[in-house]
Structure 1
Amino acid sequence: MADFIDRAVLHVTGGNGGHGCVSVHREKFKPLGGPDGGNGGHGGDVRVVADGNVHTLLDFHHRPHQKAANGKPGMGSHRNGANGDGLTLRVPPGTVVTTRDGEVLADLAVPGSEYTVAPGGRGGLGNAALATARRKAPGFALLGEPGEEATVVLELKSVADVGLVGFPSAGKSSLISVISAARPKIADYPFTTLVPNLGVVQAGQYVYTVADVPGLIPGAAQGKGLGLEFLRHVERTSVLVHVVDCATLEPGRDPISDIDALVKELDEYGDLAARATIVALTKIDVPDARELAEFVTPELRERGFDVYPISAVTHEGLDALKFALGAAVEAHRAEHPADESPRIVIRPKAIGEDEFVVRPDPESVGGFIVEGGKPVRWIRQTDFTNDEAVGFLADRLARLGVEAELARQGALPGCDVTIAGITFGWEPTAESVAGEMGVVAFGHRGTDPRIEAAEGRERTSAEERRAAKRARRVPYELKESDGYQIGDDDD
């Protein structure tokens, strides 16, 4: 089995956020210490980073499931949980990250480029962070959010200067073995090359890389043979070399028809035919092949090709070909200077992404579904075993305007409302909404208009009783028997 993997499907999961802590400070002689629960730590992110020391996607082929570390839960005494360690996946430069549908998420062409595939979940707030002037001692905390899950496809597109393309057994592997230190398998049967081979060539002052891909056949751009699997490796090349076998014994084949077929396949794959092209007529050490090469060279040059008859056995014509390739690569580099700095991908958040949408639930009569970034996140943060936490969720949804929108669309008290897969019976809490429906609104957590009204009546009754008591009081009379002198001041 070949140990070169240039495509891998990756299933990644960010770390879960740690839960917030519910705690009340307890210390001798301090009975009202207040809440001191810490926040949970954030979950780790899963990142893909281009590393020049990595050359294959083999690791992800054998281990396609990757997960970052979870955040730690908060603790008492205002101690926050530790953040989970992020997971860094190192891939070769030239790796493209796509969805299964083919949408490009990131192109990591330069070493150091990175992309966050699966962000970790946020840590939940502890009850100390949830305390307010009206809610001095919350008896609940927020849960940590789960990390995001994603399935992506990693495709390696070799970053080479020169790409060798041609029919099977045209001599591509032999050519790269004699002009570089690469040692691919060479045999006299088609599709000997099963994986791309890379080699570094030095010709005088020129230094460049050459990629040899498996042989192409008619229909390769539609998936025939091995061409479609590996044509991606010549997408980034500066120069293409059509390696043409002049000694083939197959009927119906000649250098002109071979080049026409190669140009057609390259053009159908992705307009690669417009790339700078050099033709290498191979195996001229065979007498018949030399005659055929001399016969077709004028016609190919009339078409605008630079033609070099070569022999990998006798090394004839190799020096001229290497220097010609070096000059073509240098010309391309001068016209397209390479940017060696990592690419920064900025993905601005869409306007209204955190807002919500309310729509009727097709599976529930009179029910509604609420969608949106904030409502979904709040549902994930809520501990539904804690009544106070559920009330806090209701307050947040009311402030966001969910209740007003439900009322506008005709929702009735008790109807089913589903958010992030959680269904509950809706009871309006906002005073403006509840007043229109004729039901009692309880307002924010910790307040109840019925209790406040009763307390107001009790205060009024107490004040009335105190006033009546003052009115019934008799003024104290001074008496001589008490030791006071009664009389005029002039006496």
Structure 2
Amino acid sequence: MSKFIDRVVLHVRAGNGGHGCASVHREKFKPLGGPDGGNGGNGGNVILEVDSNVHTLLDFHFHPHAKAGNGKPGEGGNRDGKQGGDLVLKVPDGTMVLDAEGSVLIDLVGVGNRFVVARGGRGGLGNAALASKARKAPGFALLGADGDELDLVLELKSVADVGLVGFPSAGKSSLISVLSAAKPKIADYPFTTLVPNLGVVASGDTTFTVADVPGLIPGASTGRGLGLDFLRHLERCAVLAHVVDCATLEPGRDPISDVDALEAELAAYAVALRADAGLGDLATRPRVVILNKIDVPDAAELADMVTSEFTERGWPVFAISTVSRAGLRPLTFALADLVHRYRNAHPKAAPARPVIRPIAVDESGFGVFADPQEPGGFLVRGARPERWVRQTQFDNDEAVGYLADRLARLGVEEELMRLGAQPGAPVTIGDVTFEWEPQISAGVDPVPTARGTDVRLEQSNRVSAAERKHASRARRGLLREDEE
């Protein structure tokens, strides 16, 4: 038996970028052919797309992990790596996407709408792309960046024009079965409907959809019964129709008290709805009262008695019978008219155009802050410096020197000096911590050395080694007075 799933937790991961290639062209009689390492391919994105053929989140319930393709590494001969394939996930119309903290990222309404939930990592540059006048044959390449990885919550909220609201066994499933071609489960016991049912109704020139929501009981807005799970399917409805059982024999129940109880639950849910997502107030939606089961004589008399009570509230009242089909035609035309008026008053918004916000000329793109965990240390935060660190091969001195040059050109060195950083101060960028050495002269054109090396780092290493040897001799008392 198929299951209706309208809320899932989805773990998505975009593809990683491919590594760049460090290669030198080799050909007979051309010993210095120059760098020819290609760039790595970008990782694939994870995209959500609304599909009219998808009506539930069942696939994500059984397959909660989704991963896009990785980019391929670059190769010699200036051959770039292949781009990672995008992963397009089909979702039903009316899917709301939230992050792990519950903040709404996007509300996917309308067939064909797409949203990139996780972006693939950028491919690393090969040494051919890194060549410059000062660095003619780089002996390194950049690593590919990791793609985004996050947890999402997908919630399906049915896109229906009319929502049928009522107590269990009020006749909602029977009503939708006679108004449309829908075939919901119908039985003589409470909570027969366990999932929302949708039906399409044609009335004159207007075609609209009707949602049969599982029965609500007092306390549904706080989790009693099935109401909390399915009240969300009423949020997009243009018209709310109270289906009232006029033939019930339960003590303490009558049409007026039933409608009052349902209105109290809708009001309580609307308060939480506004607080959570700001999607509007259910209290402003048009109401219709449907007095059902008038084929029973006592029910018909009760319907006549309570009609004036609801008309005084300004709500249209219709007495019907799903068995004899009495009163269905006027009800259908009235619902079509209310839906038509609601659509005219609330036209669909045009698809949002992409907004391009260029970065200001004086925007540095990074920030330097004192490290609260390390006295005298500093934290560097920013998308670019953190990505540069992740793309650096730290076992290659030339790559480390290139990173120092990039950070210096960005202004990190200058900002550290302005904040009073001392030589040897721990500086953390991303998940990597350095000992800051301003004497490396980052940002200047490097002196050409062997591939994969950097003379500035070699000098720094020699100085550090000499200092360690001097400290060791001092501890052993081997220094002469003139050396001290």
TM-score normalised by L of structure 1 = 0.86
Deviation above 6 Å: which 4+ runs of structure 1?
349-354, 447-451
**Aligned equivalent of 1:322:** 332
Cα distance in 1 between the residues matched to 2:358 and 2:100: 23
Unaligned 5+ residue runs, structure 1?
Answer: 432-440, 452-491
**Aligned equivalent of 2:231:** 231
Q: Cα offset for 1:167?
A: 1.2
**Aligned equivalent of 1:292:** 302
2:15 is equivalent to residue 15 of structure 1: yes
* Structural mapping, 1:117-136, within 5 Å: 117-136=117-136
CA-atom RMSD in angstroms: 2.1
Q: Cα offset for 1:324?
A: 1.1
Deviations 1:278-323 (A, max 9, x none): 1100111112111111100011111111000111111111111111
Tell me: CA distance 1:170–1:354, structure 2 relative to 1, closer, same or farther (3 Å). Answer: farther
**Aligned equivalent of 1:145:** 145
Q: Cα offset for 1:337?
A: 3.0
Q: Residue 320 of structure 1 aligns to which amino acid in structure 2?
A: P
Q: Residue 207 of structure 1 aligns to which amino acid in structure 2?
A: T
2:225 is equivalent to residue 215 of structure 1: no
Contact 1:398 1:430 in 2 (8 A): no
Tell me: CA distance 1:429–1:356, structure 2 relative to 1, closer, same or farther (3 Å). Answer: farther
Tell me: CA distance 1:269–1:122, structure 2 relative to 1, closer, same or farther (3 Å). Answer: same
**Aligned equivalent of 2:104:** 104
Q: Cα offset for 1:343?
A: 4.0
Cα distance in 2 between the residues matched to 1:146 and 1:96: 26
**Aligned equivalent of 2:372:** 362
Other structure's SS at 2:60 match: helix
**Aligned equivalent of 1:80:** 80
2:436 is equivalent to residue 426 of structure 1: yes
Tell me: CA distance 1:97–1:449, structure 2 relative to 1, closer, same or farther (3 Å). Answer: closer
Tell me: CA distance 1:108–1:79, structure 2 relative to 1, closer, same or farther (3 Å). Answer: same
Cα distance in 2 between the residues matched to 1:349 and 1:14: 25
Corresponding residue to 1:380 among 386, 390, 399? 390
Contact 1:354 1:372 in 2 (8 A): no
Q: Residue 446 of structure 1 aligns to which amino acid in structure 2?
A: V
Other structure's SS at 1:8 match: strand
Tell me: CA distance 1:265–1:429, structure 2 relative to 1, closer, same or farther (3 Å). Answer: farther
Cα distance in 2 between the residues matched to 1:101 and 1:442: 41
Cα distance in 1 between the residues matched to 2:164 and 2:375: 64
Cα distance in 1 between the residues matched to 2:347 and 2:436: 62
Deviations 1:341-395 (A, max 9, x none): 6444547477688722222223323222211111101011101111110111111
Other structure's SS at 1:128 match: helix
**Aligned equivalent of 2:345:** 335
Other structure's SS at 2:96 match: strand
Cα distance in 1 between the residues matched to 2:165 and 2:99: 28
2:432 is equivalent to residue 445 of structure 1: no
Contact 1:360 1:367 in 2 (8 A): yes
**Aligned equivalent of 2:189:** 189
Instruction: Return 311-320 or 14-23, whichever deviates more.
Output: 311-320
Tell me: CA distance 1:354–1:313, structure 2 relative to 1, closer, same or farther (3 Å). Answer: farther
Tell me: CA distance 1:97–1:399, structure 2 relative to 1, closer, same or farther (3 Å). Answer: same
Cα distance in 2 between the residues matched to 1:221 and 1:450: 65
Contact 1:14 1:68 in 2 (8 A): yes
Count of aligned pairs between the two proteins: 441
Contact 2:176 2:199 in 1 (8 A): yes
Tell me: CA distance 1:225–1:156, structure 2 relative to 1, closer, same or farther (3 Å). Answer: same
Other structure's SS at 1:384 match: coil
**Aligned equivalent of 1:260:** 260
Cα distance in 1 between the residues matched to 2:356 and 2:77: 38
Contact 2:408 2:443 in 1 (8 A): no
Q: Cα offset for 1:398?
A: 1.3
Other structure's SS at 1:132 match: coil
Cα distance in 1 between the residues matched to 2:438 and 2:181: 76
Q: Cα offset for 1:5?
A: 1.0
Identity, % of aligned pairs? 64
Tell me: CA distance 1:350–1:288, structure 2 relative to 1, closer, same or farther (3 Å). Answer: farther
Tell me: CA distance 1:199–1:310, structure 2 relative to 1, closer, same or farther (3 Å). Answer: same
Other structure's SS at 2:106 match: strand
Q: Cα offset for 1:143?
A: 0.4
**Aligned equivalent of 2:282:** 272
Q: Residue 105 of structure 2 aligns to which amino acid in structure 1?
A: L
Q: Cα offset for 1:73?
A: 0.6
Q: Cα offset for 1:442?
A: 8.9
**Aligned equivalent of 1:163:** 163
Q: Cα offset for 1:430?
A: 6.6
Contact 2:40 2:71 in 1 (8 A): yes
